[in-house]
Each structure stands twice: as structure tokens, then as C-alpha cells.
Structure 1
Amino acid sequence: MKVAVKRSDSSHGQGLREFQTEIMVLSRIQHRHLVSLVGYCDEGLEMILVYEFMEKGTLRDHLYDRKECLKNPSAETEFTWKQRLEICIGSAKGLHYLHTDPHGGIFHRDVKSTNILLDEHYVAKVADFGLSQSGMPDPDHIRMSMKGSFGYLDPEYFRTLQLTNKSDVYSFGVILLEVLCARPPIVNSKQREEINLAEWGMFWQKEGHLEKIIDPLLVGHINRNSLRKFGGIIEKCLKAQGADRPNMLDVCWDLEYALQLQQTPAHGEAH
């Protein structure tokens, strides 16, 4: 059996909490769209996690580290819109399963494209549960250190310092934009409005011209209705107030519909 091994560097004296959280979460949940834990070692200073091996690496690699990631040049054009939608649907199902865990729900708190891994058949699995949190956070124990990753962080978090399942939904909205545009959440740019992908994407969505910023590989290959639906999902996920965002089940249904639309030829569409 092929496995992936993650070994913590004990010399930094950190990571114990994340290590324990990861084991706790992955020991009690199993789902087709969550990376499974094969075993772990916690002996002396060693903290080792052993996971199922994910052949195709991270979603991010396929979106914009293509030259490094895809040794096979013909594979570059194979990352189709249908495939991308299926990966989004799988990831959404994994997150929905976490959020509806019977023990009070689990918030991932670090949803990003490097934490979505692909197996040999491009089945998406959510990974890295070190920052996860069960149930409602205890307001007395909100630590002031920022959790999560820059570019994916729920803007509401900066006001309330509370991460919820709707924070995961916001981060997932950023991933959806990444999948569509094949660019990182934050880039260096002289155009200020381009720096933050969520703001940039929302600008074009509201203009009704999201197609202007899509991955060049997808141009001419996305059904207009599918793109319109997908843009609408992103807009809902990126709402400023968590209460206005959908839950992950709604996101799953909407993405399934966007996939259906992709497979239905639009009237009068030029291919």
C-alpha cells in the first residue's frame, strides 16, 4: 500500500496541538472526500502521521504550477471544466460531511487549494485538519493569533475573531474562483484591484463579465449557463456576512446543477 508520511519537526517545539487535533478528527470520521489517516506514531519526540497516498497531488498544482506538476505535456489540456466541477463537488461534499458531524459539527478553518488533494482518478479529498475545531467556539478561549491562510480568510473573522462553518464557505468561494481563473488568491500587481482574487472576481461578477478573467485553457469550453451559475455560487459564498452565505449542502446542489448545465448544449452557443 502506498502511503504519505508527514513528520513534524520537534526541534521547533510546536505542532503538538495540531497533531493531536488531526488524529482526533480523522479517527472519528471517514468519508470518500476526506483524506483518511492510516496510522500515526507519537513516541518520544516523534510526531508522525501516515495518510493514504494521493497520487495527483494538490488542486493548486494542477491550476497554476502546471509546468512543475504535469510531467506529461498532453495532460495540460486535460484539466477540463467538467473535471474541475467534479473536484469542486467532491470537496464541497467532504466539507458538508465535516460540518454536519453528529458531535456538533467540525469547522476545518484552513480551507485552501493546497488542502484539496486528488487521487489517481482525480477524486478530490479535503486534507489537513490540524486547525479544525468542533462545535461552537468558547468565546473565552478565542486566541488572538490569526488562524487560517491569507487570501482565504473570512472578512467577518477580522471583526469577530470567530471562525464558523460559514468561514469555511467563504474560503471555499475563493477556491471556486481559483479553479475558474487559475490564479492564486493574492498576487503582486500594479493594478491594486487585481491583488486580491476575491475582490477581483466579485468586481467582474457584478459587471456580468466573469468570462474576462477565466483560465485561458477554459476559453471556449465553458457553457455560458454553467459559467453564469458558477459565478452566482461564488457570489453567495463570498458574501460579507456569514449569515448571508449558503451552507455547504446548498453549495453542493448548486455545483451539481452547474455540472448539469455544462453537459447540456446551450442554444445557439458557438463552440
Structure 2
Amino acid sequence: MGYIDPEYYHTGRLTESSNVYSFGIILLEVATGEPPILHGHGHIVQRVKQKVTSGNISLVADAQLRGSYDVSSMWKVVDIALVCTADVASQRPTMAAVVAQLKESLALEEAREDMGGVTASSMSDVVDMVSTFGPSAR
């Protein structure tokens, strides 16, 4: 249930922006290490928005990463995810725009890798896979 576009509840129609919303939830899961819904703690979008107000990305990022990420890259991923999960579908980006932003985030992470960080090749594989997706007929 935590992946479903809020507008779908009102219209009963799935759209490309519904897919963008669901992808935003997945990005938040990857960034935070948390499931979409935690009973007693609400939905991941609300939880992340509360943490973002602190201005400290380490409160948002998955603690198991132990700070092993480029801070700017993590902020970019979280920002992209939050834009993808806008309540109003018309305020969400296209998947092409999301992929472009993720590639920028990946470049930041790869620059950190070049300076001795951990590998980002698996993230590169995910971005490449996502960038091959296009709208499907419904």
C-alpha cells in the first residue's frame, strides 16, 4: 500500500506520474533503509520530510551506511525522491528528468569513489537500467 499514488485513490487511474510516485518511494527506501509504512510512525514520505527539516542528512540516510556516501549526492537523491512523491501528480517530474538527476548524483558519488570511497558501480547499473525504461501502453 505504501507505494500507491495518492491521486489513484481519488481517480482509480494509474498514470505515468503514478509510476514516478512509486519510484520515489523506492528511492526513499534505498536512501533510508526503511520500509514505506512503519506502524505507529506513519508513511516514509512524512518521516523523511520531518528528518529533512533538521538539515542533517545523516538523520535521513540509512544508518548502516555509516556515513560512507557523498553528502551532496545523498541530499540530491532524497530531494529527487521527495519531488517524485509530490501529492499532486502535475508537480512530479518525468522519469527522464529523474534519471538525469540520478546521473548527477551518481557522478558525485563516483567522484568520491575516485578519492578512495566505496564502489558505486551497482548504482550505475541501476541508473542505466532505469534510463532504458520508457512509457508503456496502458
Moved over 4 A (4+): none
- Cα distance between partner residues in 2 of 1:167 and 1:202: 20
- Cα distance between partner residues in 2 of 1:173 and 1:184: 13
Q: TM-score, normalised by structure 1?
A: 0.39
Tell which deviates more after alignment, 241-250 or 201-210.
201-210
Q: Which residue of 2 aligns with 1:264?
A: 111
Matched to 1:224, the amino acid is V
Matched, 1:185 2:36: yes
Q: Which residue of 1 aligns with 2:4?
A: 153
Contact 1:201 1:210 in 2 (8 A): no
Higher helix share goes to which structure? 2
Matched, 1:231 2:69: no
> Unaligned regions of 5+ residues in structure 1, if any?
1-149, 266-271
Structure 1, residues 139-187: CA drift from partner, whole Å, max 9, x if none? xxxxxxxxxxx00111111222221010010011000011011121112
Contact 1:205 1:235 in 2 (8 A): no
Q: Which residue of 2 aligns with 1:170?
A: 21
- Cα distance between partner residues in 1 of 2:86 and 2:54: 16
Q: Secondary structure at the match of 1:163?
A: coil
Highest RCO, 1 vs 2 (Cα 8 Å, sep ≥ 6): 2
Q: Secondary structure at the match of 1:264?
A: helix
Higher strand share goes to which structure? 1
Q: Which residue of 1 aligns with 2:48?
A: 201
Structure 1, residues 99-135: CA drift from partner, whole Å, max 9, x if none? xxxxxxxxxxxxxxxxxxxxxxxxxxxxxxxxxxxxx
Matched to 1:219, the amino acid is R
- Cα distance between partner residues in 2 of 1:196 and 1:241: 17
Aligned length: 112
Q: 1:219 aligns with which of 66, 73, 80?
A: 66
Q: In structure 2, do the counterparts of structure 1 residues 159 and 208 end up closer, same or farther at CA, with 3 Å as the change threshold? A: farther
C-alpha displacement at 1:210, in angstroms? 3.8
C-alpha displacement at 1:211, in angstroms? 2.3
Q: Percent identity?
A: 34
> Unaligned regions of 5+ residues in structure 2, if any?
113-138
Aligned-pair Cα RMSD in Å: 1.5
Structure 1, residues 219-243: CA drift from partner, whole Å, max 9, x if none? 2211111012112101210111111
- Cα distance between partner residues in 2 of 1:256 and 1:206: 25
- Cα distance between partner residues in 1 of 2:10 and 2:98: 25
**Aligned positions of 1:49-60 closer than 5 A:** none
Q: TM-score, normalised by structure 2?
A: 0.74
Q: Which residue of 2 aligns with 1:269?
A: none
Matched to 2:33, the amino acid is A
Q: 2:91 aligns with which of 237, 241, 244?
A: 244
State the structure with more CA Rg: 1
